[in-house]
Structure 1
Amino acid sequence: MQFKIFTAAVFASTLVAVSFGHDDHDELQMPLDYVRYPYQATYPGDNEVTADSIFSGITTFAKLPWVKCLTQEKSTAFDIAFIGAPFDTGTSYRPGARFGPAGIRSGSRRLTLYGGYNVPLEVNPFLSGLKIVDCGDIPVTPYDNQYAIRQIENGHKELLHRTTFSPLGNDSLTGEPLIPLSSDGKNHPRIITLGGDHTIVLPLLRSIYSAYGKISVIHFDSHLDTWKPSVFGGAPSSQAAINHGTYFYWASQEGLIKNGSSIASAPSLSSRTLDSRHGAIRTTLSGPADYVNDDESGFQRIEAREIDTIGTTGIIKKIRETVGDEPVYLSIDIDSIDPAFAPATGTPETGGWSTRELRTILRGLDGLHIVSADIVEVAPAYDTNAELTTMAAADVLFEVLSVMAKTPLGKVAK
C-alpha cells in the first residue's frame, strides 16, 4: 500500500513537471522515467515499477540522465547541468583532482536512495519541475594548460548560452513573470562544475562574464587564492603564472568580479557596495602584504576560526549582507572542510569546518541568486576506503542544488 501511494504521488508530480516545458519544445519534454524518481524501470509482463539500484548502472551525478551536451545532443535544453572539468595541472602540492569529477559522481550515488527530498530546505530538487542533467566532462588536455583553460571556458560557455527548458528560465514557477538577472537580458541555465583543481575558476568566471558581466563571488576555501604570481609560483612563464593560487588575482585584473574593500577598513556592511566573500580561510601567508592583494581583488574574509565566536548563524549573516540580492557565483574548495572529514584534497589545512557546519552555512544561502557553482580540489586517491571526501563533496552539492531549485533566478517586475 505504501508503495502504491508513493508511486501515485510521484506520478502526479510527473504531470506537473512535464507541463512546465515550452510549447515549442515538445520534443524536449522530460521523459516519464526521468521524473519517476527513483523508480525508473518496468519490464514486459511486470505490472509493478522496479527500483533501479543506486549501486548499478552508469555513474552520473545522483543518477541523473546522462546527456552528451557537448557532442551528440547539442540542441538539448535544460535548467541545471552538471559538467566535469578534469584538470589538475595547476596544483602546487598534491595532484589527482583530474579524477575529482568521477569521484564526486561515485559519492553521489546514494543521494536518491530515499527519493532525494531535502528535509531542512523542504524541497526535492529532482522533482521540482526543473530539467536537471549530467553532461559528462569537458574534454580537457593534460598536456597544455593554456589550451586546457580555453577548453574549459568554451565548454562552460557553450552550456551557459543554451536555451533553458522551463518557461521562466531555470527557475521554479512562481506564477509571476520574472526579469532575467543576466546582463544580456536572457534566461540562462545554471551550470554546476565538478573540478578539477581551483585553476578552473578563471575560465569559468570568463564564461560567466559573457552572460552576467562582473559578478559577486562566494568562495569557500582554506586559502585566499588571490596571490600575485610573483608571490605564488614565482611566475617563471606567463602560463605558470595562472594556477590554483592566483586565479582570483587574474579574475580581478580582467574585471570579472565585483571589487570592494577589506573588512578591516570597510564601513558598515549596510552602506557598502556589493562585492565578494571568502569563507573558511585559515592558511599561512607569505606576509601581511597578502591581505593587501586580497583587498585589492575585492574580497572580504571570514576566517575559519570565526565559527567559534559567531557560529554558523553569524557567518551566514556576513555572507548575505555582503552579496545582497544580486547574481552571485559560488565556488567551493573541498579543503574548506577539515581534513578529518575530507582528507582527499590537494592542499589540506587543519582547523577547518565540519561537513555539517558547511552544509548548514550553504542552506543559509537559501534565497540568494546563485547563477552557477563549482566544487573543486577533490583528489580521490587520498581518500579513505569509506570515500569520506567524495561523499562530502556530493552532499555539499546537494545543498547547492536544493537552494537553486528553490530560488527563482530573476526579479519580479514592479
Structure 2
Amino acid sequence: MKVSWAAAVLSAIAGIPLTHACAHDHAQRDFTPEELAELERKWGMEWSFTGISTFAHLPYTKCLTTPSTLFDIAILGAPFDTAVSYRPGARFGPRAIRAASARQTSFRGFNPRAGMNPYSNWATILDCGDIPITPVDNAVALQQMTAAFEELGNRPAVRADKVKIITLGGDHSLALPALRALRGIYGRPLRVLHFDAHLDTWHPEKYPSAWPSEQSHFTHGSMFWLAGSEGLISNSSSSPPSVHAGLRTRLSGDDWADHEDDTAQNWVRISADDIDDLGTRGVIKAINEAFGDSEDPVYLSVDIDVLDPAFAPGTGTPEPGGWTTRELIRILRGIDGLNLVGADVVEVAPAYQGAGEETALAGAQVVYEILTSMVKRGMGDLGRIREGEKVVEKDEL
C-alpha cells in the first residue's frame, strides 16, 4: 500500500492507525468535478425503499439552524398534538407522511395532470425537518410555531418572489401561528381554503368548562375563530370570503348558532353531501367562483378527516360520511389557479390507521398535489427565470 507523507506523519504523531490516517488524507484532497459527477452517477440514486425518511427523498436541511441554505418551497414538520379535543397522536403525523411519501422520487415524479414534474422544475424544494415544539406547554408551543414560521417565511427565496411552506401536522391548531406569520409577511389578511369535516371556527367558549383559562381557548377547533379575531383572515362583511369544503360535523346546542357564527366570519360552506348533487366538477366550480379571479394570497389547509374514515381512519376526530381520496385529489387538481402562499396537511394520527398506511399515503399524495400546483403556478408568475448566465423562458421549463 502506498502511503502519503502526510498520512505517515499524522499516524506517527497522533497515534492514529495508518488506515484511518490514509482515509483522512483521502478525504482532504480536492476531487475534480468529473470525479464528483462519477460518484453521484454510481451512488446518488435511491430506490423508493432506501435512504433516510425525508419527504419524497428530497434533500434534507435543518433550515431553522442553517440560514445560508435557500429554498423556494419548504416541507416543514410541526409534530404537535396537545391542542386536540378527542384522540391524540398527530405529533407522529410528519414522520408517517414522510415515510408514506417514499415512492415519490424526482426521477419518477412527473404529474400527468399538470404536464410537469414538480421535483425537477424551477423550484428548489427542501425537506426542512421539524419545528422542535414543546409537548408540555401550549402557550410556549404557540410561540415556537409562530417564530419558526416567521423565521423561515422571511428567508429570501432562490427564484420565487417569496418562499412557501407546506406544513406536515400535527394537529390543526398550527394554522393559527402559520396565519400569524403570513399576515406579517404579506402585510394583509389572507383568504383561507379549508378542507375539513369540521368548521374550526368555534367560539372558544363553546367548549364548556368550570375551569376556564386564556390558554384553553387555543385548540384545533377554535384556531380560525382566533385568527379572524386577530385580523389574520379577510373576514369582514365587505371582504371576499374564505371557504370550508367537506363539512359534515354535528353542531352545538339545539339550533344553527354555529353556522350563524361562521357566516358572521364571512365563510362560505360546502358540505360533504354537496358532492352528491354537484359532483367533483361542481365543487371545484363553487370554490373557484367563491375566490373569483382574485390574486389575493390564499392559505390552503387540509385536515385529513375531510376524507371518510374508510379512507383515512388514522385521524383524531373521524366523521363518517366523508369524501373519497380520489374525490379530494380531483378537487385539489381543479383549484390550482389559486395564489397559494402556504399550506398544511394536518391531523394524520398513524396509531389509528391500518397496516397499509392508507391515511399517511393520502396525506403524502395531497402534499404532492399541492406542490405541483405551487410549482405550476410559479412557472406563470416567474415568466423568465435566470439560471447563471442563461435566461430560460417559461415555455422552456
CA–CA separation in structure 2 for the residues paired with 1:281 and 1:233:
23
Does the 8 Å contact 2:83/2:171 carry over to 1? yes
SS in 1 for 2:215: coil
Q: CA RMSD in A?
A: 2.0
The reply on whether 1:228 has 2:227 as its aligned counterpart is no
Q: Are residue 283 (structure 1) and residue 249 (structure 2) matched?
A: yes
Counterpart residue number, 1:197: 171
**Structure 1 residue 364 displacement after superposition:** 0.4
Q: Which moved more, 1:318-327 or 1:75-84?
A: 318-327
Corresponding residue of 1:375: 345
Conservation of the 8 A alpha-carbon contact between 1:192 and 1:373? yes
Change in 2 beyond 3 A, CA 1:41/1:194: farther
TM-score, normalised relative to structure 2 = 0.82
Pairing 1:212-251 to 2, within 5 Å after superposition = 212=186, 213-232=188-207, 234=209, 236-251=212-227
Q: Which moved more, 1:77-86 or 1:47-56?
A: 47-56
CA contact (8 A) 2:106 2:120 kept: no
Give distance in 2, aligned partners of 1:290 and 1:134: 38
Match of 1:124 among 117, 129, 151: 117
The aligned residue for residue 81 of structure 1 is 74
Runs ≥4 residues deviating over 2 A = 40-44, 47-51, 232-235, 408-412
Q: Is 1:207 matched up with 2:163?
A: no
Name the structure 2 match of 1:388: 358
Residue ranges of structure 2 left out of the alignment (5+ in a row): 1-32, 384-397
Structure 1, gaps ≥5 residues long = 1-31, 33-39, 170-186, 262-271
TM value normalised by structure 1: 0.79
Among candidates 43, 49, 53, match of residue 59 of structure 1: 53
Q: Specify the alignment match of 2:17 in structure 1.
A: none
Partner residue of 1:297 out of 262, 265, 281 = 265
The answer to whether the 8 A contact 2:106-2:119 is kept is no
Would you say the 8 A contact 2:133–2:141 is kept in 1?
yes
Q: Distance in 2 between matches of 1:390 and 1:112?
A: 17
Bigger radius of gyration, 1 or 2? 2
How far apart, in 2, do the equivalents of 1:301 and 1:136 lie? 34
Structure 2 residue 119 is matched with structure 1 residue 145: no
Amino acid at match of 1:70: L
The AA in structure 2 aligned to 1:96 is: G
Letter in 2 for 1:344: G
Select the structure that is richer in helix.
2
Instruction: Give the match's secondary structure for 1:89.
Output: coil
- CA gap of 1:41–1:217, structure 2 versus 1, over 3 A, is farther
Measure the CA separation in 2 of the matches of 1:242 and 1:280: 23
Tell me which amino acid in the other structure corresponds to 2:369: E
**Secondary structure of 1:134's partner?**
strand
The question of whether the paired residues in 1 share the 8 Å contact of 2:200 and 2:224 is answered with yes
Q: What SS does the corresponding residue of 1:302 show, helix, strand or coil?
A: strand
TM-superposed CA distance for 1:358, in Å, is: 0.3
